[in-house]
Chain A
């Protein structure tokens, strides 16, 4: 097989998603048909998922100097595609109450997923930047999609301004690094004096500015302030996407940058990252304690979870990549389930999402399976044994302990302890007496069954993976071994 075709084969999953985006544009020009648009989106994403799985035996493929498709990339492509499919399934019943054009939502969703896939495979500043923007710019539109509600428009505007500032920081940081090293590829970012020389002020400033931008996207302390507002204002399926796909892609990129770029071997930098991790898990969990809005609560809890994940960057142990892969997969699975329940309870769209905790009081007596799924998700987020959240937390703890980072181990344990309070509170509320003013969950008919099936599948997976995690761990181990070059 000649080299060009080999590269195209390696890039097949994102190419399929890109083709379905183009197809959606053409279709919308000819006819507006919501079912058709939905079917095309889901079909394209499923084809991409099949292609991703089919690429596993192929081995690492370098697609131009910009991208690398190794097992690490394939693993995260799989996570991103599954999460995007779940978001599409939640969006369908949600948007059935939205009296405006609904079809464009799926174009934005697929484009954003394409950006996320590009980000995960990036090994060059050019592809990093394009991927990050292709992920973010459709998200501005998605957050403000229900623009007639004030909260949604406000959230979209806030997210756009802050995200734009973060992009500018990222660009300036990249320009400084490029000025100091003369290279845009991650692996060539070597201090001017040679491999062992200290990184100069240009490079430290450059990597510092990039870190500001990426920690913003990951909503880590001190750049976390936007998270609860945007999660609250965004339509529930979009909040789901923000909490899962966007976080996964950016973290996968950050890890690749730290593993492959030589300048990140800097004790000062790693200590700084450790402090950010500790602050995120403590502040995220403490602020979540006093929330009555479930979307805000999940927003703060995501800050804490990303804090746990960040400890693996500091540890740099041999298990680190495997731990990140396992933790991100379990976190994405559980967050999808939790946000999915919020989205289903708020479906169909009727002005404001039913995210206040009162709407969930006594949900068990109205929609028992949804309530039980939600309870399972809360247990998994809290990291209780027999759920897959426990497996992820176990990995994080073993990585921090293996590297002797006892202060971070302590932080994870204290953080998880605090988190138990609010997760169990949500769980208890699901089984209390139902107040009269709670919004009744309705079956919207269109696509509602699909969305429910997705939630049930996620709940089942949470338990199954908690009891028998071997398949996930094997997959993650393969992803961890083959990151490189």
Chain B
């Protein structure tokens, strides 16, 4: 594969990453924040696949499998904390849950 195709693939990954990042920053609902986090991590996974395709080596795919596993673990603990947040404080708004300052 030539250099050009990596630019396209990386461009798509960067776009997804940026969308996810914007979502994490502006969303106040923690459920959506977690979803945007997943988008960011998976965008990085896509970037690894693209890079692996350029060098036609399995390293990129191996990293992708690691990323999937870790993203699942993050989602699991994130949802667990989300449930507790809803149960204890009756809110999943990230600003309402925030008390510590300074």
Contacts and interface: CB of A to CB of B under 8 A. Distances in A.
The size class of the interface chain B forms with chain A is: 35 or more
B67 A179 contact: no
B77 A140 contact: yes
A147 B100 contact: no
A125 B66 CA distance: 11
B54 interface: yes
Nearest to B38: A164
A157 B29 CA distance: 13
Given A137-B74, A154-B99, A168-B43, A160 B66 contact: no
A93 interface: no
Contacts, number: 133
B19 interface: no
Contacts of A184: 59, 63
Contacts of A296: 102
Interface in A33-80: none
B99 A151 contact: yes
B50 A179 contact: yes
B12 interface: no
The A interface is mostly helix, strand or loop, or mixed, namely helix
B40 A165 contact: yes
Interface in B36-91: 37, 40-41, 43-45, 47-48, 50-52, 54-55, 57, 59-60, 62-63, 66-67, 70, 73-74, 77-78, 81-82, 84-85, 88-89
A144 B43 CA distance: 28
B67 A171 contact: yes
A101 interface: no
Contact of A178 (B24, B45, B60): B60
Contacts of B60: 175, 178
B83 to A, nearest CB: 10
Q: What's the interface size class on A, roughly?
A: 35 or more
Contacts of A154: 97-100
A155 B98 CA distance: 9
B47 A164 contact: no
B21 A133 contact: no
A288 to B, nearest CB: 12
A137 B70 contact: yes
Contacts of B10: 176, 179
Given A168-B37, A178-B59, A182-B55, A155 B74 contact: no
Given A161-B37, A178-B51, A133 B73 contact: yes
Contacts of A140: 77, 81
Interface of A: 125-126, 129-130, 133, 137, 140-141, 144, 147-148, 150-151, 153-158, 160-161, 164-165, 167-168, 171-172, 174-176, 178-179, 182, 184, 228-229, 232-233, 291, 296
7 contacts: A137-B77, A140-B77, A164-B40, A165-B40, A167-B74, A175-B50, A176-B47
Q: What are the nearest 10 A-B pairs in CB distance?
A: A171-B44, A175-B47, A179-B51, A168-B40, A182-B55, A172-B44, A178-B51, A229-B100, A164-B37, A175-B48
Given A155-B100, A178-B52, 8 more contacts: A148-B88, A154-B98, A157-B94, A171-B47, A172-B43, A172-B47, A175-B50, A184-B63
